[in-house]
Structure formats: C-alpha cells, structure tokens
Amino acid sequence: MRRQKGFSLIELLIVVGIILLIAAIAIPNMMRARISANEASAAAGTRNLVLAQFQYQIAYPSIGYANTLAALGGSSCITPSSTSACLIDQGLANSSTQPKDGYLYGAAGDKSKFSVGNYPAIVGVTGNNSFCASEEGILWIDPTGHNNSATCGPPPVPQAMQH
C-alpha cells in the first residue's frame, strides 16, 4: 500500500493557529509603533512651524506672523512673497485639509502673536496627542487630542523647544 505524502488537516490547523497567534501579538505593537512615529513627526512639524513663523515675521515685519499655512508654504519659490513665503514644504502647507502622517495642522497669526499646532485625524488610530505652540516657543502637548492649533493654551504638559 502506498503512503501519501503531505500534511494532515490537523497539522495545517495547528500552523494556521500559530500564525494567527503571532498576528494577534504583532498587529497591536505595530499600531502603537505607527502612532509613536506619527506623534514624533507631529511634534517636529509643530517645531518647524514655530521657526517658520519667526522667519516670516522677520521677513515681513509690516504683516507680523502668518495667518495661514499657505502663507508659510508656497509652490513657486522663485520669488517668495507674504502670501507664499516658501518657509515650509508643500505637504505641511496643505496639511490643514490633507493629513500629514495622520495629523491635521493649523496656524493663526497677526501683527504681534501666533499659534500653530496639529491634532490627530482620528484620535486613537493616527495619534493620541495634539501639539501646539505660540510665540513663547514652548511646545504644548494635549493628551486628549483636541484641535488646539488656532488657540494654543497651556495644557498640563509643556515641552521646551530645542534649537
């Protein structure tokens, strides 16, 4: 009698079970790692916006600080202007409507003060914390993930800006 070669149904079910167990462990860790990467990018993006606001105010003192992300960005940087200063990349300039690394950004400013920040597009999925800063140069972290890009107040956790 010939013996057939191959795997039995039980062996295949055991292998599938092991693969599912590994996936159940790995997927949540991967999601947490992605959220951490998005939050690191968001904090760096807020710092970049603060520096861009300071540069904008120096370049256009009669206007003060930029009121929109579009004013800080620019697609044609041959001759920067107050409406297209080319101080941030286009991806960050468009991030008020199109999330950048899972975060939506915003900016507000006038002659003497500004506020910039971001918040997760989907709290708990793309990020947990929101970040904001103003002319003091302090990066504030809001663990609730609220939209505070236009009104940066002092939530409980400040983080000093590094130059």
**Minimal CA–CA distance to 105: which of 94, 153, 163, 13?**
94
In the structure, what pLDDT confidence band is assigned to residue 4 with cuts at 50, 70 and 90? confident
Partners of 107 in the β-ladder: 116
Q: Over the range 96-122, which residues count as b (16 or more CB within 10 Å of their CB) and which as e?
A: beebbbbbbbbbbbeeeebbbbbbbbe
pLDDT in tens, 63-98: 999 999 999 998 878 888 999 999 999 999 999 889
Task: Enumerate the domain spans of the chain.
Answer: 48-160
The answer to whether the CB of 140 falls within 8 A of the CB of 132 is: yes
